[in-house]
C-alpha cells in the first residue's frame, strides 16, 4: 500500500513539475504574442471617429464615481457622450454626478428607482441607459475604473483597424491593502487559466471571455443579440455578451491594456471574499463539479508540492536508511516549488502587481480554496445570492 502511495506521489509530482514548466513557458510566449494596447499604439484618434456612448451603472458609488467621471471627461477623443445611470443609490452618487454636470456638458444622468423582476441590477441599469444613447458604438464601463486620456481613442482605433465587433480590455488591477496584493493576482490567474486570451480571440474556439469594466461594442452587434434585455438574468453579463458575439459569428477581441485603465475592484478582505465567491459561483455556471475540479487542481499543483517538500525533507533527516523514493519526491517537489516561484514572479511582473507578495502565495492559495468552497456552499444553500444590497432568488 505504501509503495502504491509513493508511486502515485512521484507521478503527481512529476506531472506537476511539467505543468508548471509549461505555464512558465506559456507566460514567456504570451509576453510577446498576446495583443496589447497602450497610449502609443496609435498616434492620434481615428480620422473619422464614430460617436461613442460611454455608459456607467452606479449604485452607491460615491467613493468612486468622481475619479471615474473626471478621467472620462479628459479624453482626447472628439466625439463621445457619457451617460451615468444612478441605480437606486442611497448615498451621494447623484449629487456628485450633478456637480460634475455643471462643468461638463457631455455628461448625462439617468435615475433608476426600481429593479424590474427577472433582471439583475447592472443589466437593467445599462438597459435604461442605452435607451437614450446616441452612439454608433457603446462603451460599457464601471464606476470603480480610472481611464487614461487616450483610452477611448486607442480602443476606437483598435476596433476600426482590426475590424473587431467587440473589444474588451484587461486593466491594471490596483491593490493597496495587504489582502488585495495577495489575493487579487491569484484570482485573476485562475480566471485567465480558465479563459485563455488566445482562445477567446480565436473564432474557431468556443471560449469567450470579457471584462465588464471595459467593453466597446458596435450598436448593431449589441442589438443583434437583444442587448442587455437578452442577457437580463445573467450576473456575469460581460461573459454572456462575449458568448453571444462569438455565437453570432462576430469578432471578439480581448486585449491586455494596463496602461489605459485601472480598477480597484475590492478594498478589503470581506469585499474580496464576497466578490470572488459571486464571480466563481456564476462563471462556472453554478456547477459543483467545475468548482470542485478547480479546488483539486489548486491543491494538487500549488499546495501539495510544499506539503511533500516538508514531509519528505523531514523523513530524510529522521530515517536511518536513505530512501531513494523519498529523495526522488523531495527533489521533484523542490524543483516544482522553484518553477512555481519563477512563474508567479514573472506573472506578477506582467500584471504589474508586487512580485514579492508571490512569496506568500501559499496563504493566498488556501484563501482561494476557501472562496471556491464558499461558492460551492452557495450552490447548495437555499438562500439566494446577495450583491450590492439586492438579494436575488435562486433559479
Summarize pLDDT for 173-212 with one digit per residue, the tens.
888 899 999 999 899 888 888 888 899 999 999 999 999 9
In a domain, 392, yes or no: no
Number of domains in the chain: 2
pLDDT in tens, 79-102: 999 999 999 999 999 999 999 999
Pairing type for strands 214-218 and 137-141 reads: antiparallel
* Distance, CA of 262 to CA of 171 (rounded, Å): 5
pTM: 0.89
CA-atom Rg of the chain in angstroms: 23
Shared-domain flag, residues 143 and 46: yes
Shared-domain flag, residues 260 and 222: yes
* Distance, CA of 300 to CA of 231 (rounded, Å): 36
Shared-domain flag, residues 266 and 303: no
Domain stop point among 265, 283, 301: 283
Q: What is the model's pLDDT at position 114?
A: 85
In a domain, 394, yes or no: no
Q: What is the model's pLDDT at position 285?
A: 79
Determine the distance from the C-alpha atom of residue 305 to the mean position of all C-alpha atoms in its chain, rounded to a whole number: 27
Q: What is the model's pLDDT at position 164?
A: 96
Q: What is the model's pLDDT at position 251?
A: 96
Shared-domain flag, residues 229 and 295: no
CATH of the domain at 232: 3.90.550.10
Full residue range of the structural domain in which residue 356 is found: 2-29+286-380
Shared-domain flag, residues 158 and 115: yes
In a domain, 85, yes or no: yes
- 10-residue block means of pLDDT along the chain (395 residues)? 81 92 84 82 92 96 94 96 94 94 92 85 92 96 96 97 96 90 89 88 92 96 95 89 95 94 91 91 86 93 94 86 86 94 85 82 94 91 65 58
Q: What is the model's pLDDT at position 389?
A: 60
Domain stop point among 254, 283, 312: 283
In a domain, 116, yes or no: yes
Could you give the percent of the chain with pLDDT greater than 70? 95
Shared-domain flag, residues 351 and 366: yes
Beta bridge partners of 112: 87
CB neighbours (10 Å) of residue 101? 16
* CB contact set of 372 (below 8 Å; sequence gap of 6+): 280, 291, 294, 295, 298
* Distance, CA of 275 to CA of 132 (rounded, Å): 30
pLDDT in tens, 346-395: 888 777 788 888 889 999 999 999 999 999 998 888 676 666 666 555 55
Domain stop point among 283, 317, 332: 283
Shared-domain flag, residues 331 and 274: no
* Distance, CA of 253 to CA of 248 (rounded, Å): 14
Shared-domain flag, residues 152 and 50: yes
Q: What is the model's pLDDT at position 357?
A: 85
Q: What is the model's pLDDT at position 21?
A: 93
* CB contact set of 108 (below 8 Å; sequence gap of 6+): 81, 82, 83, 84, 101, 132
Q: What is the DSSP string of 179-197?
A: HHHHHHHHHHHHHHHHS-H
Amino acid at each position: 500500500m505504501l509503495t502504491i502511495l509513493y508511486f502515485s506521489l512521484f507521478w503527481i509530482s512529476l506531472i506537476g513539475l511539467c505543468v508548471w514548466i509549461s505555464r512558465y513557458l506559456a507566460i514567456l510566449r504570451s509576453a510577446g504574442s498576446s495583443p496589447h494596447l497602450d497610449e502609443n499604439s496609435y498616434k492620434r484618434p481615428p480620422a473619422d471617429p464614430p460617436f461613442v456612448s460611454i455608459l456607467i451603472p452606479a449604485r452607491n458609488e460615491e467613493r468612486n464615481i468622481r475619479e471615474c467621471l473626471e478621467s472620462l471627461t479628459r479624453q482626447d477623443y472628439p466625439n463621445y457622450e457619457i451617460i451615468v445611470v444612478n441605480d437606486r443609490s442611497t448615498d451621494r452618487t447623484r449629487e456628485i454626478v450633478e456637480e460634475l454636470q455643471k462643468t461638463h456638458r457631455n455628461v448625462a444622468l439617468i435615475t433608476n428607482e426600481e429593479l424590474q423582476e427577472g433582471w439583475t441590477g447592472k443589466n437593467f441599469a445599462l438597459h435604461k441607459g442605452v435607451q437614450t444613447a446616441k452612439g454608433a458604438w457603446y462603451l460599457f464601463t464601471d464606476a470603480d475604473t480610472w481611464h487614461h486620456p487616450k483610452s477611448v481613442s486607442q480602443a476606437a482605433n483598435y476596433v476600426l483597424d482590426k475590424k473587431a465587433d467587440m473589444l474588451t480590455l484587461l486593466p491594471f488591477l490596483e491593490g493597496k491593502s495587504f489582502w488585495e496584493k495577495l489575493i487579487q493576482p491569484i484570482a485573476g490567474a485562475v480566471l485567465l487559466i480558465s479563459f485563455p486570451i488566445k482562445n477567446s480571440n480565436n473564432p474557431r474556439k468556443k471560449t469567450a471571455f470579457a471584462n465588464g469594466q471595459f467593453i466597446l461594442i458596435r450598436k448593431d452587434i449589441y442589438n443583434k443579440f437583444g442587448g442587455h434585455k437578452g442577457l437580463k438574468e445573467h450576473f456575469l453579463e460581460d461573459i454572456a455578451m462575449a458568448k453571444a458575439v462569438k455565437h453570432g459569428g462576430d469578432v471578439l477581441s480581448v486585449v491586455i491594456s494596463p496602461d489605459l485603465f485601472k480598477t480597484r475592484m475590492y478594498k478589503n478582505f470581506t469585499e474580496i471574499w464576497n466578490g470572488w465567491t459571486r464571480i466563481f459561483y456564476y462563471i462556472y455556471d453554478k456547477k459543483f463539479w467545475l468548482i470542485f475540479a478547480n479546488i483539486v487542481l489548486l491543491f494538487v499543483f500549488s499546495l501539495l508540492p510544499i506539503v511533500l517538500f516538508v514531509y519528505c525533507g523531514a523523513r530524510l533527516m529522521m530515517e536511518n536508511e536513505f530512501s531513494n523514493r523519498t529523495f526522488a519526491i523531495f527533489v521533484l517537489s523542490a524543483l516544482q516549488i522553484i518553477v512555481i516561484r519563477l512563474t508567479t514572479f514573472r506573472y506578477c511582473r506582467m500584471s504589474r502587481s508586487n512580485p514579492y507578495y508571490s512569496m506568500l502565495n501559499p496563504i493566498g492559495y488556501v484563501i482561494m480554496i476557501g472562496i471556491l468552497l464558499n461558492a460551492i456552499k452557495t450552490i447548495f444553500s437555499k438562500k439566494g445570492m446577495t450583491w450590492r444590497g439586492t438579494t436575488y432568488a435562486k433559479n
